[in-house]
Structure 1
């Protein structure tokens, strides 16, 4: 891996993540880390013909989660380079297939994009969770979900695809399902972990959303789906959230 850090942040977390990542995985194209001054900049990666660009706020790049965020984004790069269906499938296409002919609120369409990001994150974090210590990830989920349940009006400033929520308790419940699914998928928590209580509270705030159902959607994602299988999974979860579970057709 060739990692180049550009911006006002120490390179150590990104180079340390590189060392850990390279013990089992690799990224062929150069990685350009762009540290942004905007504290509200979400951490995200752009993929280009000659490089990957990891965009991250200075606040996130200097936080205790910086190394874990870098590992997470390196995993996205690997999934993209190996042409995993989750990272090649057009979200716009899947939402068109799932929602065509229906009138859907703009907020719910925006939430469907977040759910699609969660599905990508499942596959990226299948890699990051295989690399070892996930305690910080679990703590991140717990703290951010607790903040969401107590105050839906306070979104996160930076980090992984948020499991805190915006003002809408319905997407908070789906985000809770994502956190539980990832933790159960990799045996990161015990049955009595506080995450379950927080997810239950999130579900109570959104009676129209089944936390258990969305958790199953995320848990049922196979390791190596075909393009058709992944598209159908994305269409199904889109329909359940936006249309109340109408049957998807591929």
Structure 2
């Protein structure tokens, strides 16, 4: 794997992630890592005919999760190169099929993209959790979910949710399902782990979201689906979310 790190920041996390990936996988194309100054853009990846590009903020590159973040993005690159359906299926095509004839709020449409991204992340982390430990990822999932649950909107006088910049309870419940699914798919946590308590709190805040169902959908994704099977799975997940959220 040809790796080049550009910008002001440590190279060690990316070299360490490369070494872990190469125990099981390799990338045919070179990877350019570009360390950026903008702390608001943690990581984003571009795929080109002759290379992959990983853009990462300097703050993220210097964090305790830097190696794990890099390994996760390298795994996405591996899935892209193998043309895995989760990384080649245009989400817009599925949304058009799933939501035809429906009026959907913009925030719920954004949530549908998040569901698709969670499915992509499951397949990327099937690689990362084969080649690397999962303790940091589990702690990251726990802390992220705890922050979202704590940031839920406060009920108004009529018990309806106030419009606020707080975490949206519906997507927090979906995120909780993703965290549980990943933990269960890779045996990262026992049933007494705090993640389950947090997921229960998220479920209580958004009873219209089928947390158990989404956990099962994410956890039981087929390891190597064909394009038709994956499209159908994503289509069903999208309709399930929108149908319950309306």
Equivalence for 2:209: 209
Deviation at 1:166, TM superposition (A): 6.0
Cα separation, partners in 2 of 1:166 and 1:36, compared to 1, 3 Å: farther
Q: Secondary structure at the match of 1:95?
A: helix
Q: CA RMSD in A?
A: 1.5
Deviations 1:200-242 (A, max 9, x none): 0000010111210110110221001010000011111111112
* 1:32 match: 32
Number of the residue aligned with 1:223: 223
Structure-1 separation of matches of 2:95 and 2:220: 20
Note the C-alpha offset of 1:243.
2.3
Superposition pairs for residues 18-29 of structure 1, below 5 Å? 18-29=18-29
Q: 1:61 aligns to what?
A: 61
Match of residue 181 from structure 1:
181
Alignment-derived partner of residue 104 in structure 2: 104
Change (3 A) 1:238 1:166: farther
Question: Which residue does 1:129 correspond to in 2?
Answer: 129
Decide whether the 8 Å contact of 1:239 with 1:245 is kept in 2.
no
Counterpart Cα distance in 1 of 2:4 and 2:139: 29
The answer to whether the 8 Å contact 1:178/1:218 transfers is: yes
Distance 2:192 2:55 in 1: 36
2:79 match: 79
The corresponding residue for 2:157 is none
Give 2:158's aligned residue: none
- Answer yes or no: is the 8 Å Cα contact 2:95–2:238 preserved in 1: yes
Distance 1:166 1:49, change over 3 A: farther
Q: Gapped runs of 5+ residues in structure 1?
A: 154-164
Paired with 1:44 and 1:229, the residues of 2 have a C-alpha distance of 27
Q: How does 1:108-123 map to 2 (within 5 A)?
A: 108-123=108-123
For the 8 Å contact 2:209–2:245, the answer to whether it is kept is no
Give the TM-score of the pair, scaled to structure 2.
0.92
Question: How many pairs were matched up?
Answer: 235
Q: Show the counterpart of 2:6.
A: 6
CA offsets 1:108-150 (integer angstroms, 9 cap, x no match): 0011111110000000000001113110000001111111100
Whether the 8 Å contact between 1:236 and 1:245 is mirrored in structure 2 is no
Distance in 2, matches of 1:177 and 1:16, equals 30
Aligned to 1:138: 138
Distance 1:115 1:44 in 2: 18
Distance 2:166 2:101 in 1: 27
Q: Which residue of the partner structure matches residue 234 of structure 1?
A: 234
Q: Cα distance 1:166–1:76, how it changes in 2: closer, same or farther (>3 A)?
A: farther
TM-score, normalized by length of structure 1?
Answer: 0.91
Correspondence for 2:16:
16
Structure 2, gaps ≥5 residues long: 154-164
Q: Deviations over 1:29-66 (max 9, x none)?
A: 01011112111103121111111111111111110000
